[in-house]
Amino acid sequence: MRTPIIAGNWKMYKTPREAVSFVQELKTAVAGVQDVEILVCPAFPALLPLSVVLADTNIKLGAQNMHWEPEGAYTGEVSAEMLREIGCTYVILGHSERRQYFGETDTKVSKKARSALDDGLVPIICVGETIDERKAGETQTVIQRQVRGCLNGLRAGEVAGLVMAYEPVWAIGTGLTASPGDAQEVNALIRHLIGELYDRATAASVRIQYGGSVKPGNAATLMSQPDIDGALVGGASLKVADFTRIIKATVETLKPWS
Ligand code: PEP
């Protein structure tokens, strides 16, 4: 059984001080949660202080980006090893905002994923179609191209342990959410493709999140879908109460009798 993972992508919000105060509240709110993995991904300056506050809690730490080289003359960049050393276990790669504003491509994502895995970080690889691509009926083609490109060069055992995130671009930060049926369909497509590219065991093991305006009110139906293994949450992860309700709604979906 795949453990769902609820990740908060804080983007360029929260100073280190605000981030520390947030997780101090969050760790109390989610103290008893066991069967859902909880992750926060703050901006770089908050990573180190959060790693101290989150030690010995059930909340993990992730970064929002990294460079693929281990070191070098790359002003403004950070490496996987640097992130690992300050307590990160995950790194988000290929987020649509990085694709849109910073020239992230599937090729760069695959290089970053290679480097992340080599340094013991778990990549969360984002894919998703734009509204124009969806309207043109190109969703499947786009997702397949992105998945193939981002996983290029990775081995089955590596893919089995990473996280994919289906994030339709038109649903990110817009308040528009993919219907549970549509999100399930694309997540199932990603799993099927990974089965073709690798094998059934890898497809069965890889976790595939949904992201795009996940809120307390829609989390349960989305997280109940068979191929949705958690959420990548932007806006609603910035408020302790909302993020906690999404986590607890996900825990509830794990109880077959509820
Ligand atoms: C995101 O940034 O990955 C995201 C899904 O944002 P939001 O939840 O605000 O749509």
pLDDT digits 0-9 by tens, 31-54: 999 999 999 999 999 999 999 999
The secondary structure of the chain in percent helix, strand, coil, rounded to multiples of 5, reads 50, 15, 35
Give the separation between CA 60 and CA 70, rounded to whole angstroms.
Answer: 23
The rounded mean pLDDT for the chain is 97
Residue 201 belongs to a domain: yes
177 in contact with ligand 1, CB cutoff 6 A: no
229 in contact with ligand 1, CB cutoff 6 A: no
First to last CA, the chain: 18
Residue 257 belongs to a domain: no
pLDDT band of 256, cuts 50, 70, 90: low
Residue 142 belongs to a domain: yes
In 3D space, the residue among 156, 140, 137, 252 whose CA is nearest the CA of residue 202 turns out to be 156
Give the separation between CA 88 and CA 80, rounded to whole angstroms.
Answer: 9
- Render pLDDT for 212-250 as a digit per residue (tens, 0 to 9): 999 999 999 999 999 999 999 999 999 999 999 999 999
CB 96 within 8 A of CB 63: no
pLDDT at 258 over 70: no
CB 159 within 8 A of CB 194: yes
pLDDT at 255: 72
Q: Which of 95, 97, 104, 158 is catalytic?
A: 95
pLDDT at 257: 54
Does the annotation count 167 as an active-site position? yes
Residue 139 belongs to a domain: yes
Residue 258 belongs to a domain: no
CB-based contacts of 126, cutoff 8 Å, min separation 6: 92, 93, 94, 95, 96, 165, 167, 211, 232
- Render pLDDT for 80-134 as a digit per residue (tens, 0 to 9): 999 999 999 999 999 999 999 999 999 999 999 999 999 999 999 999 999 999 9
Structural domains in the chain (count)? 1
* Other C-beta atoms lying within 10 Å of the C-beta of residue 230: 30
Residue 172 belongs to a domain: yes
CB-based contacts of 185, cutoff 8 Å, min separation 6: none
Residue 29 belongs to a domain: yes
Please tell me whether residue 3 adopts helix, strand or coil conformation: coil
Question: Structural domain of residue 165, as residue ranges?
Answer: 5-252
Nearest-atom index, ligand 1, CA of 167: 5
Residue 173 belongs to a domain: yes
- Percent of the residues in the chain that have a pLDDT greater than 70, as a whole number: 99
Does the annotation count 95 as an active-site position? yes
- Render pLDDT for 10-34 as a digit per residue (tens, 0 to 9): 999 999 999 999 999 999 999 999 9
**19: CATH:** 3.20.20.70
